[in-house]
A and B are shown apart, each in its own frame.
Chain A
Amino acid sequence: MNDAVLVTRGLTKRYGARTAVDALDLAVRRGSITGFLGPNGAGKTTTLRMLLGLVRPTSGSALVCGVDVSTSRPPVQKIGAIIETPAAYLWLSAADVLLVCAQTSGFGRSRRDVDALLARVGLGGREHDLVRTFSLGMKQRLGLACALLSDPEVLILDEPMNGLDPVGVVEMRELLAALGAEGRTLVVSSHQLVEIQQLCSDIVIVVQGKKRFAGPMSDLAGNERLRLRLSDAVKARALVTAAGFVAAADADDARVITVDAAHAQAPELAVLLVNAGIGILALEPLSFDLEQAFLDVVGGAPALVAPSPAPPRLLGGAA
């Protein structure tokens, strides 16, 4: 894949008998914003650490900007990263932390650059405050500023929204979207799936170190579905199945079925049911919800849910 900026092939990391990452094959498109998802302990952070050269793979390869970081030195100037909880020298000011990062990277940053960078991540006016006085969210912002120091083309961000208040989450999402719009490639690991859904174009889901899904968000969304609350769900399910639809009973509500059907097919379906004397209490087009899709992938929960509760609408038949 020529336009892939991050590629892993058979990437594996074992700690003794435990396999943290198991033969992971990934390709992250250049310029994409990829959500890297998985339950706790799925191997996300270990994978990201391997991409950054912090952890050595047991086997397999990891190419970052064309460089195999499992055998060669990582192209550090092209990558910016936040890994897990934000870390900084608590006794230093925010400006000094950036200075340390700049000195470590081997390039100078003027005071104006540092101030502008801190302002960009929402820490304007806090340059001289000691990091120990910062909240978790502020440390997160400082971590992002450090990641942006080298103006990297790839950003690897592990839980960048952790600890942010609701306003901060929105600001961070908008900032990350802006960074993506500048042509950077972002890999964002997060448990805040609502934000990931709004931010990302691609999704990777790993479970127990193995890839369960990788591709555009639209692929994960799958087919459109309709959710129906009916007077006789058993009869309705048999009827729509006979008509060629795929229908599933709801585990929690005996009067509800979910039908794999385009939203535009709702009238056709309604006519079919009404003509059979089945009362339709509600008919709801289901919108894509990443949280449910994620649960579906990792644990088999239903992937689609109604966008909002709707009042029952009697289209025909008896209740």
Chain B
Amino acid sequence: MTLLDLVRAEVTKARSAPFVRGLLFLSAVLPLVLMLILAQAMSTDQDRLLRWPLSALSVEGFFPLVSVVVPATLLAWLVGIEQTGDTWKLILVRRPTRVGFLIAKLIVAGAVSACFFLFTIAFWLAGHELVGLLIGQEPTPAADRVIDRVIVGVVGACLTSAIITGLSLLGAVLVPKNGVVVGAMSGCLSVMVANIVDTKDGPLITFVRPVDWAAARLLGFELPEPLQDLDPTRCALVLLVWLVVPPALALVVFARRDVESGAG
């Protein structure tokens, strides 16, 4: 009775789930659609690409968005669907402890999100080439350097995703009756709130600057100007708190919670 058994069970559930299949389908379709939108904009008014909403569809805008929305939504679904389908009672009675269930869901959410991310990059590149051939020019500015940009941002994206999934997990566990919605919202909204709250000279309480700081340090980059003055110990501590506390709290709450009926 190992964690691997639970991960296999989660994979069995997820691989046939319409939600997960739809998500992976989107990973193929979305980049192609976005590429066409960008190409159309590029051919008419290139300045539009720098303005909202098209700015969000650029490499710098789209991939960070995906790295937040997908894991948060996926994990919220994996946890919330057990409550709305009233299936916790089916599986929890099969193991003496509960913590493994959530850890398995975190692992599967991470794995599926990684698949989504890789598919999206692949289809983005494929779409870029395809649309480029069709219209006879680069469909997006510097989109051919997408891999470089994604790789540069991958550490930050992974750290942010890990924090987001933890917050999403906490939301889904704390409000089980609406776990899917609350979990996804708590994950996604926390990024928005963190970005609003975090200011260049403000107190170091959100994960925004610590993530950037950690990503730069891990990749061996020189710290950009706003991050150079940060206290490394405080940065690491804040990051650790955001990474550990929400999922740990979720695990404790889940382990002690009464499992009552259904969605209603």
B261's nearest neighbour on chain A, judged by CB, is A84
Give every chain B residue within 8 A of A45 (Cβ-Cβ): 261
Q: Is B129 an interface residue (CB 8 A)?
A: no
Given A85-B86, A92-B16, residue A53 in contact with residue B5 (CB < 8 A): no
Which A-chain residue is minimally distant from B91 (CB atoms)? A104
The answer to whether A175 has its CB under 8 Å from any CB of chain B is: no
* Cβ–Cβ contact A90 & B85, under 8 A: yes
Q: A319 in the interface, Cβ–Cβ < 8 Å?
A: no
A54 contacts B by Cβ under 8 Å: yes
Residues on A with C-beta less than 8 A from B90 are 87-88, 101, 143, 146
CB distance from B71 to the nearest CB of A (A): 21
> Are A96 and B16 in contact, with the CB atoms below 8 A?
yes
Confirm or deny: B180 has a beta carbon within 8 angstroms of a beta carbon on chain A: no
Do the beta carbons of B17 and A91 come within 8 Å of each other? Answer: yes
- Determine the distance from Cα of A79 to Cα of B89 in the docked complex, in whole angstroms: 13
- Decide if A223 is an interface residue (CB 8 Å cutoff): no
Q: Is B202 an interface residue (CB 8 A)?
A: no
Q: Tell me, yes or no, whether B51 is within 8 Å of chain A by CB.
A: no
Does A54 contact B258, Cβ atoms closer than 8 Å?
yes
CA distance A146 to B94 in the complex (A): 10
User: Which residues 100-126 of A sit at the B interface, judged by CB distance below 8 A?
Assistant: 100-101, 103-107
**In contact, A100 and B91 (Cβ under 8 angstroms):** yes
Residues 308-319 of chain A, each 1 if its beta carbon lies under 8 Å from chain B, else 0: 000000000000
User: For this complex, into which size category does the number of interface residues on chain A fall?
Assistant: 20 to 34
Point out which of A52, A84, A100 has the most chain B C-beta atoms below 10 A from its C-beta: A100
A143 to B97, CA, bound (A): 21
Once A103-B5, A105-B1 are accepted as A-B contacts, the answer to whether A54 and B12 lie under 8 Å apart by CB is no
How far, in angstroms, from A313 to B258 measured CA to CA in the complex?
60
> Do B5 and A104 touch (CB < 8 A)?
yes
CB-CB under 8 A from B261, the residues of chain A are 45, 84-85
Q: Does B87 contact A (CB under 8 A)?
A: yes
| Complexed CA–CA distance, A84 and B87 (Å) | 11
On whether the beta carbons of A76 and B93 are closer than 8 Å, the reply is: yes
Contact-residue bracket for chain B: 20 to 34
The reply to whether the CB of B231 lies closer than 8 angstroms to some CB of chain A is: no
A54 closest partner in B (C-beta) = B259
Q: Is A104's CB under 8 angstroms from B94's CB?
A: yes
- Does B93 lie within 8 Å of A81, measured CB to CB? yes
Cα separation A76 to B258 with both chains bound (whole Å): 17
A189 CB to nearest chain B CB (Å): 14
**Chain A hits for B92, CB < 8 A:** 53-54
Q: A56 contacts which chain B residues (CB < 8 A)?
A: 256, 258
Instruction: Mark each residue of chain B from 249 to 264: 1 if its CB lies under 8 Å from any CB of chain A, else 0.
Output: 0000000101111100
Write out the residue numbers on chain B whose beta carbons fall within 8 Å of the beta carbon of A96.
12, 16
Known contacts A54-B258, A55-B258, A87-B86; A76 and B8 CB within 8 A of each other: no
| In the complex, A212 has a CB within 8 A of chain B | no
Query: Once the chains bind, are B8 and A103 in contact (CB under 8 Å)?
Result: yes
Interface centre among B2, B89, B95, B258 (most CB of A within 10 A): B89
Known interface pairs A92-B13, A96-B12; A52-B93 also in contact (CB < 8 Å): yes
Tell me, in angstroms, the Cα distance from A145 to B18 when the chains sit together: 25
Name the distance in Å between B5's Cβ and chain A's nearest Cβ: 5
A104 and B9 within 8 A (CB): yes
- The 0/1 profile, CB within 8 Å of B marked 1, for residues 182-203 of chain A is 0000000000000000000000
Q: Please list 27 pairs of residues, one from A and one from B, whose beta carbons are closer than 8 Å in the complex, sorted by A's number.
A: A45-B261, A49-B258, A49-B259, A52-B89, A54-B89, A54-B92, A55-B258, A55-B259, A74-B96, A76-B93, A83-B89, A83-B93, A84-B261, A87-B85, A90-B85, A91-B17, A100-B13, A101-B91, A103-B9, A104-B5, A104-B94, A106-B1, A106-B2, A106-B5, A106-B94, A107-B1, A143-B90
Residues of chain A having any CB pair with chain B under 8 Å: 45, 49, 52-56, 73-76, 79, 81, 83-85, 87-92, 96, 99-101, 103-107, 143, 146, 150
